[in-house]
Amino acid sequence: MTMKVLVIGGGQNPEHEVSLASAAAVAAALRLGGHAVTTATIDRDGVWRADGIPPGVSPAASLQQALPLLAASDVVFPAVHGALGEDGALAALCALAGVPVVGSALGAGAIGMDKWATKLVAEAVGLRTARGRLVAAEDIGDVEFEGAVVVKPVTAGSSHGVSLVTEEGDLLMALRGAARFDRRILVEEVVHAREIDVAVLREKGGVRWAAPPLEIHAPGLFDTATKYDGTARFTVPAQLDAAATSALKRAAIAMFDALGCDGVARMDFFLTDDGPVLNEVNTMPGLTAASQAPRMFAAAGVDYVDLVGRLVRAAV
């Protein structure tokens, strides 16, 4: 069934370029799948760009002129990662407009983007997370922590502002770096374990399932540079025994359900000798064919064009 799909990319956050790549790939795949696709881009300053929107208008005026694009669509595919996109902002806009949207609704997006809230949800459903504490940007001069720690902004994506701190004298600089992205900072103890991701998909009709896990091999901290400079390697399916694979998939689906996710979400874990430890959740993960979630579904026999088509069908 051919549908009119509006694909939105860009966004007002540091993941802007990554989102543009995801949106371009999604739009191309949907066209290959026979859908009628229109596109819109949200610039870094919040201005919407699309056919029919004149240059030089304000964010509010450009959004007003973009609303007919939403109204003319059967479904919206918001391939916007990070704040004011993945956090549920675009899902809320589509809900107010009465247009079906690919991916999770406002609640799941907002909680999934909040690493501290995600930890609380995970622990409530029996999933382990790294020991850590929440720090306000105003209090970073008073923070002390024993041993090596990972410092990260609570709501930033793509590992922006994330630092591994092994020396006490480096902690303040790391906290200041994280505070550039969020006034709330998470400081966690380091978990020495294999890094394993699991993607979960909710199909049309409500059935959800987990793809084969993917293992990340990085020379150090899997930070922003490592994610995009080609130094990290991925193994999918990850070389795991049946018990570990089952435990990871159960944990991923449990978190997917606890947050109330829809569409596709990627759950990132550390695999320890005592089982999975949840690291974080991505409710709109990278969506080029080379991104982690599509690679996992490809390993399950669902190619990229099929995957984005399934996401659109599930939304409608």
pLDDT digits (tens, 9 = 90+) for 129-188: 999 999 998 988 777 777 899 999 998 765 788 989 998 888 889 999 999 998 999 999
Quickly state the pLDDT bin for 218 (edges 50, 70, 90): confident
Which residues, at least 6 apart from 76, have a Cβ–Cβ distance to it below 8 Å? 5, 6, 8, 70, 90, 94, 99, 100, 101, 102
Question: Is pLDDT at 82 greater than 60 in this prediction?
Answer: yes
How far apart CA 309 and CA 65 sit, in angstroms, is 27
pLDDT of residue 225: 53
- 249-255 mean pLDDT: 98
**Predicted confidence (pLDDT) per residue in 287-309, tens digit:** 999 999 999 999 999 999 999 99
**232 or 280, which is more confident:** 280
Cα–Cα dist 229/154, whole Å: 24
Q: Which residues does residue 202 pair with via DSSP β-bridges, in sequence order?
A: 208
Q: Name residue, tokens 């999770």.
A: 104
| pTM recorded for the entire structure | 0.92
In sequence order, which residues have a C-beta less than 8 Å from that of residue 15 and are 6 or more positions away? 81, 82, 157, 158, 160
Least confident of 54-63, 87-96, 106-115, 141-150: 141-150
Work out the pLDDT band at 57, boundaries 50, 70, 90: very high
Percent composition of the chain: helix, strand, coil (DSSP 3-state, to 5): 35, 25, 40
pLDDT of residue 39: 98
**Residue given tokens 């690679």 in the structure block:** 295
